[in-house]
């Protein structure tokens, strides 16, 4: 089975849960939709006749409550432009720091299957930790005092949006 992604961190996180999967970096259009499901369904439609094995793709985003869901579906672009320091600036002086990470996995085996995972938490006051990727050093999941950036992959997976979505995929695969 392939995980089609250009992001090695995502692949490493999924591999801890699923075991032997292969990373394949094939570009596919990521449309500018207002929800993550639409993005992955479009991606699967584009890829399904081009890939010779069962595969999955994943799209994710960080939705900050006091910013009305921003960066959300723009998470990738916002990370590349203003980054974590930019988000912390936007949140300057804000006491309501709730945020949710969402992951949507789409698995294709002749049919498309969607698995969604959410992780509630809050935006830290400052960047903490050098593990993981993206917004990990500014996100503290509910039930922990640490940011994802201070966690090893296994610990992050216990809480994370992607861990939850990939475990749903694993359950489905076990039932086949
Ligand atoms: P793909 O090739 O799989 O699309 P990507 O890195 O472009 O990989 P996304 O399109 O899903 O990933 O973009 C979501 C962005 O949100 C990503 O670039 C990160 O900055 C951020 N993000 C998503 N999941 C994250 C996580 O678990 N921890 C930290 N940041 C995350």
Rounded Cα distance between 6 and 11, Å, is 9
59 is catalytic: yes
What is the per-residue pLDDT for 84? 98
**Per-residue pLDDT tens for 122-141?**
999 999 999 999 999 999 99
Model pTM score: 0.97
**Per-residue pLDDT tens for 41-54?**
999 999 999 999 99
Mutation probe of ligand 1 site: the residue of 39, 43, 62, 128 with most atoms within 8 A of C-beta: 62
What is the per-residue pLDDT for 110? 97
Rounded Cα distance between 74 and 9, Å, is 19
Q: Residues in the chain with pLDDT < 50?
A: none
Q: Which residues line ligand 1 (CB under 6 A)?
A: 5-7, 10, 30, 58-62, 75-76, 79, 132-136, 148, 160, 162
Q: Looking at domain 2-175, does it have CATH number 3.30.565.10?
A: no
Nearest Cα to Cα of residue 128 among 151, 100, 102: 151
Mutation probe of ligand 1 site: the residue of 57, 77, 133, 149 with most atoms within 8 A of C-beta: 133
What is the per-residue pLDDT for 37? 97
């Amino acid at each position: 089975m392939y995980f089609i992604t250009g992001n090695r961190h995502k692949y490493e996180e999924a591999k801890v849960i699923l075991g032997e999967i292969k990373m394949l970096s094939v570009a596919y259009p990521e449309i500018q939709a207002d929800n993550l499901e639409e993005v992955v369904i479009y991606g699967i439609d584009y890829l399904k006749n081009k890939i010779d094995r069962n595969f999955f793709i994943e799209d994710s985003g960080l939705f900050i409550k006091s910013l009305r869901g921003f960066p959300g579906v723009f998470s990738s672009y916002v990370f590349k432009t203003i980054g974590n320091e930019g988000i912390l600036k936007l949140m300057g002086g804000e006491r309501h720091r709730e945020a949710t990470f969402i992951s949507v996995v789409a698995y294709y085996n002749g049919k498309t299957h969607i698995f969604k995972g959410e992780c509630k938490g809050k935006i830290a006051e400052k960047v903490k930790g050098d593990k993981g990727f993206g917004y990990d050093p500014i996100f503290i999941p509910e039930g922990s005092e640490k940011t994802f950036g201070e966690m090893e992959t296994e610990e992050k997976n216990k809480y994370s949006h992607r861990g939850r979505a990939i475990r749903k995929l694993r359950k489905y695969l076990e039932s086949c």
